[in-house]
Amino acid sequence: MDFTIKTMAEYAAEGKMPEVLFFVGCAGSFDDRAKKITKALCKILHKVGVEFAVLGQEESCNGDPAKRAGNEFIFQMMAHTNIEIMNGYGVKKIVTACPHCFNIIKNEYPSLGGNYEVLHHTQFLKKLMEEGRLKIEGGTFKGKKITFHDPCYLGRGNGEYEAPRQLLEKLDAELVEMKRCKTNGLCCGAGGSQIFKEDEPGNKDINIERTEEALSMKPNIIATGCPFCNTMMTDGVKHFNNAEVTVKDIAELLAEAEDL
């Protein structure tokens, strides 16, 4: 990237406040595949002139995996650490590319003293589009077919189905819906800390079931809005040895459309 991303500490040292804090999350910080989603989102925000900052070394895991695995104590320790730092900087608005970060900071941090306006990156990008700041040219996707997999914590968890689809519709591609979508969407199998444990005995892995459904739509691209979903669907596509289909986050598709 040909620009520098500033931290909240750097903004504070200048006596300034960015428009938003980008809460990167563990996947977006450490997972090589998810780092590409982080970079794509940063490139878009930089291009449209959004002043944003990250916490950098001061950011801790949001606590979601610990909480979902049943360790409330560890969750509260992690959450309190993040809240103390964010409140110290006077953070008001947070954007994240992970529905797990989005859900827990939006719905479970307030009771611990963390009250913020929290947006999933598709909601924020849709807002930028409506304000005329983000203009999407989708020419490179002409003739392509895209199917969107709803992340549980964005869709059924928080009722957001339209933002990702409205962005995808701006690309010159055909958006095809799987049979199980929106309120009837099927989990990729990663949520509830399942991604971190061994599979339980059964006839078929959930991500294989879901990928099968996506591939039956004959798409060129399976679009996701969650780093965990991205991993599970990518593994599913590899399972079927399907080299024709790629799995990409919506931020990556928009960055590609903008040639960033």
pLDDT tens column, 15-55: 999 999 999 999 999 999 999 999 999 999 999 999 999 99
Report d(CA 138, CA 149) in Å as an integer: 20
Pick the closest to residue 6 from 55, 69, 57 (CA basis).
55
Q: Are 112 and 78 in contact (CB under 8 A)?
A: no
The pLDDT tens digits of the residues spanning 78-93 come to 999 999 999 999 999 9
The answer to whether 76 touches 63, Cβ cutoff 8 Å, is yes
Check residue 33 and give its pLDDT.
Answer: 96
User: What CA dihedral angle connects 14, 16, 22 and 27, to 10 degrees?
Assistant: 20
What global pTM score does this model have?
A: 0.94
